[in-house]
Amino acid sequence: MTSELIHLRKAFLFQGLPDDVLAALAQKLTRQKLAKGQVLFRRGDQGDSLFIIDEGRIKIVREDAQGGELVLNYCEPGEAIGEMSLFDKEPRSAGVVAVTDSEVLELKRDAFFDLVNSRPDVSLVLLQSLSSRLRFASTYIQKAIEWSKRIAEGDYSLMDQMQTEQAVSDEDKAGQLLSAFFQMVKGVKAREEDLKQQVQKLTLIIDETKRKQEFEELTSTEFYSKLKLQAQMIREQRKDKS
């Protein structure tokens, strides 16, 4: 059994397809190598193919409001990416970057629909796979709402509860993805607290410097000198009387 057929069998989108259909798909795949950090495609690129990870690790990314990278998901061997472009012909909704040296298998839209048109039973399997992806999206959104509420209340304990091993369930995977974001939020909060403390210390220093300056200005006036001289004369008079 070829590696293409093995990974097609593992890909969630094609799980449940008969062996003869998988074999037909395997013949239509082309292989592409990616170096670490190489972009497979960017958000907005015209999409006309699906990719299956054969080796390595891939991340799906978008830009945040500040232009930084926001990781939406990490994908491992056997997972399919870019599948929506097979169905809607819309531009890519996100970018894909190789986290490690990787190899991907590409399936073009035309080759895909040639198979679907010749085998109507394939459509049902594909719908089931897409439903699984939608369930993951629902889990992700639900968890994001729950975590946001806890973060807003100042509860960061969920960060310590996250597991570092590879996630299996949709809930675990969604949790790992969200934990990266909320760890960043926690880091921002920590920097804000540190900055607040520095501002408080600086305010104390400024106040002390201001008080010292005001004292020096007061003691350097002619009025203060005369007052000091009068106080000294009063003390001497009291000594003479005693």
Q: Pick the residue with more confidence: 107 or 228? A: 107
Q: Binning pLDDT at 50, 70 and 90, where does residue 56 land?
A: very high
Q: How far apart are CA 24 and CA 231, in angstroms?
A: 108
Helix (H), strand (E) at residue 132: helix 121-152
- 131-166 pLDDT, tens digit each: 776 777 777 777 777 777 776 777 766 655 554 445
Of the candidate ranges 40-49, 57-66, 71-80, 157-166, the one whose mean pLDDT is the lowest: 157-166
% of the chain at pLDDT higher than 70: 81
Q: Are 193 and 162 a contacting pair, CB within 8 Å?
A: no
The DSSP output letter for 119 is -
CA 152 to chain centre: 18
Residue 47 has pLDDT above 60, yes or no: yes
User: If pLDDT is split at 50, 70 and 90, which confidence band does 83 have?
Assistant: confident
Question: Which residues touch 183 (CB under 8 Å, ≥6 apart)?
Answer: 159
214 vs 82, higher pLDDT: 82
